Amino acid sequence: MAAKKSSTAKTSPKRSSSSKKTVSRKTSKTTAAKASGATNPHPAPVLPAWHVAPDSTKAWKRLEKLAKKGASMDLRQSFAKDRARGRKFAFEALGMHLDYSKNLIDGEILDALFALASECGVAKHAKAMFAGNHINVTEDRAVLHVALRAPKGATIKVDGHNVVPDVHEVLERMERFATSVRSGSWRGHTGKRIRTVVNIGIGGSDLGPVMAYEALKDFTERGIECRYISNIDGEDFYEKTRDLNPEETLFVVSSKTFTTIETMTNAQSARAWALAKLKDPAAVAKHFVAVSTNAAEVSKFGIDTANMFGFWDWVGGRYSMDSAIGLSTMVAIGPENFRELLAGFHDMDEHFRTAPPKKNLPYLLALIGIWNRDFLGCETVAVLPYCQYLHRLSAYFQQLEMESNGKRVQLDGTPCRWQTSPVIWGEPGTNGQHAFYQMIHQGTSPVPCDLIAFAKPLHEIGGGDAKSPSHHDILLANIFAQGEALAFGKTPAEVRAEGTPEWLVPHRTFPGNRPTNTLLCEKLSPRMLGRIIALYEHKVFVQGSIWRVNSFDQWGVELGKVLAKRIIPELVGAAPKPSHDGSTQGLIARYRAWRAR
């Protein structure tokens, strides 16, 4: 959160005075407390000259002109005219095949999109990120999730300090801990083995770990279950703990700041729940560990900082699943698989950093997204994984994209004159086909889709000979069919030719020309998951660079939190004097009345 800052954890790198900055400032001295909220002390950034507004570029103007052509493009004709189109607009790297040919693009449009990225200095911005410059200008921080997966010998400096050894030190501590839980050498207070690990965290401290746990279930130690409590709603806590034995339960309290009300309230309830059975406060040491940047708050809670796993202020919450926030993931899949996950992230980091934009998966996805959003006016994007293991992926990307790029002002505070993040949503296929695809095929607003699948299943069920398809063959037939149907539709003439009565023809016609990307990967594995997540992280980066927003802050979540804090005592104490608007006041009064009955 923007208002949250780390106090210095044991593992936090020290800042040196040789700070390298993307932006120049009068002073580099920023204290954590001051940097939050209204008294933010750092002066306005002076942006590098290459960080230009997209609509000031030649490419943007060209794209505006090309928009008409894009909007009236007919994919049937485009494919008929150019037999190589499917091959031309596809790219493969790292066991991932991205087919973007079913978008309303052609060579000229793509050239203009690449020119846009170049005029907007995306590569320079990326270089600044990898170099540890403070590209998160509103919080005066480096943005270095890429350091979390850098190999041991690498050097990535933040303010003159190489953070890679710090990262590996934490990783090694995590590994020792995860191994002890998995092997049973870590015992609960009464000597029993840990059977359930409950991660308590929210937002960036929850969505990644849940998504990864579900995605990599097949790689988990099945004798240990992971559960995730995030919501302040006590019903989440109740349902996730009701059948657990505190003697066999380990809580991982995951909070960068260790001040988030939901997490701290759930952690306190967990402590009370555990101690109700375990009685002895010393049991906390065996049943609670923390993942945080805030050592002081962790020890105030009663967790020994020896059982705390740190990370750093240059890791944003939604970019933290591969930091110590992934501790529950590591316990579940084991250190070796976790290293593979990190290696997958790193594969994509290197691809993004070194491949030319035209052969660069994050650039391709990002630029097509910009085309759909800013020039074709698409307001939402559906992420549709054809893989049940990825059933939390859309929710994860929702935060990644919408919290990063859901901004209305540029880095310099002036309004964006263009559209930024679309709404991201989705569910796995084929389930979605029986629910909301109707609208995607025939609704009034086109919804670009990212269709994601794996060629090889983790479990082959059914099939076995050419005549009987397996579950997986049917699944994949569906993803390919959807892309085909969305692109090419069904014309009125085709509908009529089936003998459909004239009055029904419009109902049974599919307009087609609905954009899709298909990302076909070889096989789901920890490494492949890392690649997929990093692909979207860097896609978000490219888009944020072009939109000239700060993809790494989230001031928009602050106001509601402040107001909630003010309302809490008004719900439980003596009736407050009216101090809100008529609507809010009325709701508070109704709540109090019903609670009092």
Residues identified as active-site: 403, 434, 561
The CA-atom distances, in angstroms, between 368 and each of 51, 99, 271 are 21, 12, 48
* SS3 of residue 404 by DSSP: helix
> 98: buried, middle or exposed (CB in 10 Å: 19+, 13-18, 0-12)?
buried
**Least distance from ligand G6Q to the Cβ atom of residue 534, Å:** 16
**Residues 6 or more apart whose Cβ sits within 8 Å of residue 231:** 202, 262
Binding piece for ligand G6Q, criterion CB under 6 A, among 10-18, 203-211, 512-520, 582-590: 203-211
**Least distance from ligand G6Q to the Cβ atom of residue 261, Å:** 9
Q: Of the two residues 293 and 509, which places its CB atom closer to ligand G6Q in the complex? A: 293
> 402: buried, middle or exposed (CB in 10 Å: 19+, 13-18, 0-12)?
buried
E-assigned strand segments in 338-435: 380-385, 423-425
- Single-letter amino acid, residue 262: E
- Phi first, then psi: give them for residue 268, nearest 5 degrees: -65, -40
Instruction: Work out whether 202 is an interface residue with ligand G6Q (CB under 6 A).
Output: yes
Binding piece for ligand G6Q, criterion CB under 6 A, among 11-19, 196-204, 339-347, 497-505: 196-204
Instruction: Work out whether 12 is an interface residue with ligand G6Q (CB under 6 A).
Output: no
Gap between the Cα atoms of 129 and 144, Å rounded: 7
Instruction: Work out whether 392 is an interface residue with ligand G6Q (CB under 6 A).
Output: no
Q: Of the two residues 2 and 96, which places its CB atom closer to ligand G6Q in the complex? A: 2
The CA-atom distances, in angstroms, between 325 and each of 142, 255, 256, 269 are 19, 8, 8, 21
* 398 to 437: interface string for ligand G6Q, x by CB under 6 A: -----x----------------------------------
H/E element, 500: none
**Least distance from ligand G6Q to the Cβ atom of residue 259, Å:** 7
Binding piece for ligand G6Q, criterion CB under 6 A, among 150-158, 310-318, 390-398, 497-505: 310-318
Of the residues 204, 326, 357, 530, which one makes contact with ligand G6Q according to CB under 6 A:
204
Strands 225-229 vs 90-93: parallel, antiparallel or unpaired? unpaired
Gap between the Cα atoms of 461 and 469, Å rounded: 9
Binding piece for ligand G6Q, criterion CB under 6 A, among 149-157, 198-206, 408-416, 438-446: 198-206
Gap between the Cα atoms of 3 and 38, Å rounded: 9
The answer to whether the beta carbons of residues 150 and 7 sit under 8 Å apart is: no
- Phi first, then psi: give them for residue 66, nearest 5 degrees: -75, -15
Question: Could you tell me which of 464, 170, 421 has the C-alpha nearest to residue 289?
Answer: 170
Q: Of the two residues 263 and 516, which places its CB atom closer to ligand G6Q in the complex? A: 263
* 223 to 262: interface string for ligand G6Q, x by CB under 6 A: --------------------------------xxx--x--
- Say how many Å lie between the first and final Cα of the chain, rounded: 38
The answer to whether the beta carbons of residues 147 and 167 sit under 8 Å apart is: yes
Q: Of the two residues 63 and 321, which places its CB atom closer to ligand G6Q in the complex? A: 321
**Least distance from ligand G6Q to the Cβ atom of residue 4, Å:** 5
The CA-atom distances, in angstroms, between 490 and each of 14, 501, 510, 551 are 62, 15, 5, 40
**Least distance from ligand G6Q to the Cβ atom of residue 329, Å:** 15
Instruction: Work out whether 544 is an interface residue with ligand G6Q (CB under 6 A).
Output: no
Instruction: Work out whether 4 is an interface residue with ligand G6Q (CB under 6 A).
Output: yes
CA gyration radius for the chain? 25
The CA-atom distances, in angstroms, between 394 and each of 66, 167, 421 are 31, 28, 15
Gap between the Cα atoms of 218 and 270, Å rounded: 28
Instruction: Work out whether 19 is an interface residue with ligand G6Q (CB under 6 A).
Output: no
Reply yes or no: is the peptide bond before residue 420 cis, omega within 30 of 0: no
- Single-letter amino acid, residue 357: P
Q: How many residues bind ligand G6Q (CB under 6 A)?
A: 16
Instruction: Work out whether 351 is an interface residue with ligand G6Q (CB under 6 A).
Output: no
**Least distance from ligand G6Q to the Cβ atom of residue 288, Å:** 15
Binding piece for ligand G6Q, criterion CB under 6 A, among 300-308, 311-319, 422-430, 584-592: 311-319
Of the residues 101, 427, 554, 570, which one makes contact with ligand G6Q according to CB under 6 A:
554
- Helices (H) and strands (E) counted in the chain, each on its own, are 23, 15
Instruction: Work out whether 1 is an interface residue with ligand G6Q (CB under 6 A).
Output: yes
Instruction: Work out whether 310 is an interface residue with ligand G6Q (CB under 6 A).
Output: no
Q: Of the two residues 374 and 403, which places its CB atom closer to ligand G6Q in the complex? A: 403
**Least distance from ligand G6Q to the Cβ atom of residue 184, Å:** 29
Q: Apex CA 102: angle with CA 107 and CA 403, to 5°? A: 95
Of the residues 246, 316, 357, 512, which one makes contact with ligand G6Q according to CB under 6 A:
316
Instruction: Work out whether 263 is an interface residue with ligand G6Q (CB under 6 A).
Output: yes
Gap between the Cα atoms of 294 and 6, Å rounded: 5
Instruction: Work out whether 266 is an interface residue with ligand G6Q (CB under 6 A).
Output: no
Question: 491: which 2 tokens?
Answer: 């014309």
Q: Of the two residues 36 and 500, which places its CB atom closer to ligand G6Q in the complex? A: 36
**Least distance from ligand G6Q to the Cβ atom of residue 135, Å:** 15
Instruction: Work out whether 318 is an interface residue with ligand G6Q (CB under 6 A).
Output: yes
Question: Could you tell me which of 88, 106, 108, 111 has the C-alpha nearest to residue 98?
Answer: 88
Binding piece for ligand G6Q, criterion CB under 6 A, among 30-38, 199-207, 524-532, 538-546: 199-207
Q: Of the two residues 317 and 512, which places its CB atom closer to ligand G6Q in the complex? A: 317
Question: 48: which 2 tokens?
Answer: 């590098």
Instruction: Work out whether 203 is an interface residue with ligand G6Q (CB under 6 A).
Output: yes
Question: 130: which 2 tokens?
Answer: 């990898």
Gap between the Cα atoms of 346 and 147, Å rounded: 9
**Least distance from ligand G6Q to the Cβ atom of residue 201, Å:** 6
**Least distance from ligand G6Q to the Cβ atom of residue 564, Å:** 13
Instruction: Work out whether 138 is an interface residue with ligand G6Q (CB under 6 A).
Output: no
Q: Of the two residues 94 and 144, which places its CB atom closer to ligand G6Q in the complex? A: 144
Q: Give residues in contact with ligand G6Q (CB under 6 A).
A: 1, 4, 202-205, 255-257, 260, 263, 316-318, 403, 554
